[in-house]
Structure 1
Amino acid sequence: MMSEYTDEKFVPEKNRYAETLSEFIKCKTISDERFFDKTEFDKFLSFIKGRFPLVFEKGEYKDFNGGIMIKIDGKSHDEPLVLMSHYDVVQENGKWSFDAWSGKVENGVVYGRGAVDTKGSLAAIFESVESLLNEGFAFSNDLYIISSSREEIAGADVPDMVKYLADNGVKPKLVIDEGGGIVDPPVPGVSGKCAMIGMIERSSARVVVEFTNKDGKNAAANMAEFIEKTQKKVFGRRDFGPVNTAMFNAMKPKMNGAMKFVFSNLCVFKPLLIKLLPKVNKSAASLLGATVAFVTPSDKENLDLPSNAIRIVARISGNYYNKIDDLVDEFTAFAKEFGAETKVVSKRETPAPEPLDSDGFRFVKNVAECVFPGVTVAPFCVLGGTDARHFIGKSQSVIRFAPIYMNNQQFSSFHNKDENISVDSVADAVRFYREAIKRFNNTTK
């Protein structure tokens, strides 16, 4: 595997990238049916066709009910590379300090919904491919650009694309989707930025919980007590598992003395860490075991609600050593102790993890270390779900990594208010995708 950076002469066009992402954000591509506006999706598609003429001239474009698939032909069709990032977004929420759909560019930062999730990385994918085509780059392998218009609502466009590829005998060598990123130290006691490479996703379930005023029981009081005790309860079991263990091992060189001592003797300290880490870091609870979060039911989930009842929705998230069926059963039994009735709306099991020694992980790790020198590259478990899961078993490797640096505020703006990203981060992502494409086409025969 090449270790030298091959793209020294490339000069990023930062002003252009800022304009591209700004226009992406101005397209209000909300996939939630309550706010869906097809004209906004059409506006986005019209913009990219004009913005990236070579991609659409040289590539074969297919529309999957708004989902985008573009194939750039290479000399070989056997082991293509797939670059993914969705272009639908969630509705703005909370009180923003700026217009969520303005796409404002100020002081080297692009502001608006989708900047982080995931129009920033999608802009970088398109810009990288357009620039390589403009240079006359010869692709030795096919390249696919895939972008969902329904990722936020677990829509059918990417599953349909995966089926289309499989039906036509296409099995990618590597899929790179969103899920990971470049962040400030994710745990205390670690110094420097970390490039988090997603190897596995969490399982999930959505359960409607209903409380009723009957037999002298107060529904609101029961719900409040149930929520409070659920937040304190541990469902399933907590453990490090191979991915989390590998993550902390990768970070050990950047740990302070005490942290390094503890994680160098994990067999001794593991039971204590499993108890303490979730108390000092909210993300640790998600890394080590199952979590339950409560949200307001949708209009559909509140249909036929009895006048003497109230409902809340539980979002259960697990990992690969807690089966989602077992977690749902345990949660349902616990809810019944408070007189609640439950209904499972949806559930999804954890897909198979990417092997820690896979060619795909090594490839992405090497590119990240080259493009982002000094950054610690670590495997990790993605805390949410991505479209990448549909490629499990249909691609040789499936990696979840958007090469975008996010500071703590930007990271917290994911599905939250005041979403923004720096233009420099987008430029670095362009460099990453260019380097990945060039290396892939030089090393894959």
Structure 2
Amino acid sequence: MDHAAPDTAGPARPAPHRAVSKLQALVRLPTVSDRDPALVDVAAFDALLVELERQFPLLHQRLELTRVGSHGLLFRWAGADDARPVVLMAHLDVVPVEGTWTHPAFDGVIADGQLWGRGTLDDKGCVVGICEAVETLLERGFTPAQDLWLSFGCDEEVMGATAQEAVRVLTERGVHPWFVVDEGGAVASGAFPGVTTPVAVVGVTEKGVTSVELRAEGRGGHASTPARMGPTARIARAIMRLERTPFAASLPAPTVELLRRLAPHAPRALRPVMAHGSRIAPVLTRALVAAGPESAAMTRTTAAVTTLSGSPALNVIAAQARAGVNVRIMVGDTVAGVLSHLRRAVDDEHVHIDVIESGEPSPISPFLDDPAFALLEATIAEVFPDAVASPYVMMAATDSRHFTEICERVYRFAPFRMSKAQRESIHSFDERIGLDDLVDGVRWYTTLIERIR
């Protein structure tokens, strides 16, 4: 049954917020990006831009639009002043669909108080949240105190160049943002052991992303006469050596502050440890590593083997074997240091390490006694009064990393409540957003825009 349909057994249910149907319309367009442009469904992206204009007519009529990349959009909403412009970001593309879904990924089904579909959380929910906030304020005749820029990329999921193009356009126009807000953190529940209070984590930096390929070569041949330490065996051994040689763990300043803010909400035995993390960092670091993969990733550079290839046939020995490794580089580490660590860990001159792409960690944006971060905190407190707002190190990559070239205050926060199951659904199956949570997200963006001075 559709969420908006009346209940014949009782009084009619209230109609859902109009943002719900708008997000439904966007989810139903499969804007899957691909590193190979020939594999991109251009028609889906074309349809999305048409749908955006249909759903948000005032935004398109009254804001200045610049097209960037193939389907990226850069809007300017002229404010009463342009001294401290603000950029709100999101992206239009999504990752491919995998796994078995409860509801089809591109049907936009409403069930159990949630809207199901690829992109609901990553990142069309933010697109709709931003656009609906602007549309609503335009209907009220509101003018922002400062210029407001909306940057919507179309190839974020494949590390594309559209965001860099947007930065170039802003640079040419002499725009130096006061702050930038992109996707990233969320109002997370169940994120930390023993903490039941929701945590509104705002990314003040993000790990660098570097991808390498381990490659081993040999003669190959018939599978009936295998030789020792062929290409596949060398790659297998290299993978196990990487597994047994993790990167050194540490606690960057945003993580120390996060734990300090969570201390009053943690189990009593953990409160002193978390509250004084800067003084007992080694003890706290070991505790986070032991607590599980999500908390362990907060403390160190990680390396995950993501792709494997070998022989094209079951009865043929591989002449070449490869393993792709995705590395997320912690603040304080470098690409050069990571490559040195990988070479030492693999310790095999016959295994080549080829760099496919590389990126350093982003600089840390200010978060203590900073007016921009304080504005985000105040907006979180108004819309999510039960949540603890805190900085953190974002472990994934966003388009906003490119904006650090022109702005020192780049923050990453999607203003939606997300359970652990919802966070796990991103880039996986059964991605969905609560209907009320989407509405709260619209309210958060609206409040933020109204509070900018």
TM-score by length of 2: 0.89
What is the aligned counterpart of 2:64 among 48, 60, 67? 60
- Aligned equivalent of 2:127: 122
Q: Is 1:72 equivalent to 2:77 in the alignment? A: yes
SS, match of residue 207 in structure 1? strand
Q: Distance in 2 between matches of 1:280 and 1:274?
A: 10
Q: Which residue of structure 2 aligns with residue 168 of structure 1?
A: 173
Which amino acid counterpart does residue 266 of structure 2 have in structure 1?
Answer: M
1:151 maps to 156
**Cα gap change, 1:416 to 1:25, in 2 (>3 Å):** same
Q: Does 1:184 align with 2:195?
A: no
1:217 CA drift (Å): 1.1
Offset at residue 94 of structure 1 (A): 1.9
2:242 corresponding residue in structure 1? 230
CA contact (8 A) 1:359 1:397 kept: no
Structure 2: which amino acid aligns with 1:21? L
Mark the CA change 1:33 to 1:397 in structure 2 (over 3 Å): closer, same or farther. Answer: closer
CA contact (8 A) 1:208 1:297 kept: no
- The gaps in structure 1 that reach 5 residues or longer are 1-11, 300-305
1:321 aligned residue (320, 332, 335)? 332
Corresponding residue for 1:20?
Answer: 22
2:294 aligns with one of 272, 283, 287: 283
CA offsets 1:102-123 (integer angstroms, 9 cap, x no match): 1111232111110110111111
* In structure 1, C-alpha distance between the alignment counterparts of 2:116 and 2:22, rounded to whole Å: 12
Check 1:312–1:371 CA distance in 2 against 1; reply closer, same or farther (3 A cut): same
Cα distance in 2, alignment partners of residues 178 and 13 from structure 1:
28
What CA distance in whole angstroms lies between the structure 2 residues aligned with 1:108 and 1:15?
Answer: 12
Alignment-derived partner of residue 138 in structure 1: 143
What is the alpha-carbon distance in structure 1 between the residues aligned to residue 100 and residue 350 of structure 2? 36
Which of the pair has more CA radius of gyration? 2
Percent of paired sites with the same residue: 27
Correspondence 1:96 to 2:109:
no
Equivalent residues in 2 for 1:25-40, closer than 5 Å: 25-33=27-35, 35-40=39-44
Q: Does 1:295 align with 2:300?
A: no
Q: Give the gaps of 5 or more residues in structure 2.
A: 1-13, 220-226, 311-316
| C-alpha contact (below 8 Å) 1:17/1:123 kept by paired residues | yes
Q: 1:13 to 1:71 in 2, by over 3 A?
A: farther
Cα deviations by residue, 1:296-317 (Å, 9 ceiling, x for unpaired): 2699xxxxxx951211100111
| 1:101 shift after superposition | 0.9
Q: State the AA in 1 paired with 2:112.
A: N
Larger CA deviation: 212-221 vs 49-58: 212-221
Would the aligned equivalents of 2:195 and 2:267 in 1 still touch at CA under 8 Å?
A: yes
Aligned match for 2:451, one of 419, 422, 439: 439
CA contact (8 A) 1:14 1:427 kept: no
How far does the alpha carbon of each residue in 1:221-240 deviate from its partner, in whole angstroms, 9 at most, with x for none? Answer: 333333233223122x3111
Q: What does residue range 363-382 of structure 1 map to in structure 2 within 5 Å?
A: 363-382=375-394
Measure how far apart 1:427 and its partner are.
0.3
Structure 1 residue 18 displacement after superposition: 1.5
Normalising by structure 1, we get a TM-score of 0.90
Please state if 1:49 is matched with 2:60. Answer: no
Q: Which residue does the alignment assign to 1:244?
A: 255
Q: Which amino acid aligns with 1:382?
A: M
Deviates more, 1:410-419 or 1:32-41: 32-41
Secondary structure of the 2:184 match is coil
> Which residue number corresponds to residue 202 of structure 1?
207
AA in 2 matched with 1:128: A
On the 8 A contact 1:410/1:419 being kept in 2, the answer is yes
Q: RMSD of the TM alignment (CA)?
A: 2.0
Query: How far is 1:396 from its partner?
Result: 4.7
Tell me the alpha carbon deviations over residues 345-369 of structure 1, each in whole angstroms, 9 at most, x when there is no partner: 1110112110222322111111101
Give me the whole-angstrom Cα distance separating, in 2, the residues matched to 1:167 and 1:196: 33
Query: Aligned to 1:116, what secondary structure does the other structure show?
Result: coil
2:233 is aligned to 221
Kindly provide the CA deviation profile for residues 251-275 of structure 1, in whole angstroms up to 9, marking residues without a partner as x. Answer: 1121110110222343564323323
Match among 399, 402, 415 for residue 411 of structure 2: 399
Q: Give CA-to-partner distance per residue, 1:65-117, whole Å, 9 cap, x none.
A: 21011111112222212111111011011222321111111232111110110
The alpha-carbon distance between structure 1 residues 30 and 319, as it changes in their structure 2 partners (threshold 3 A), is: same
Amino acid paired to 1:46: V
Q: Partners of 1:408 and 1:377 in 2: how far apart?
A: 17
Counting helix residues as a fraction of each chain, which structure ranks higher?
A: 1
In 1, Cα distance between equivalents of 2:187 and 2:15: 21
Q: 1:159 to 1:18 in 2, by over 3 A?
A: same
Q: 1:244 & 1:439 partners in 2: Cα distance? A: 27
Amino acid at match of 1:140: A
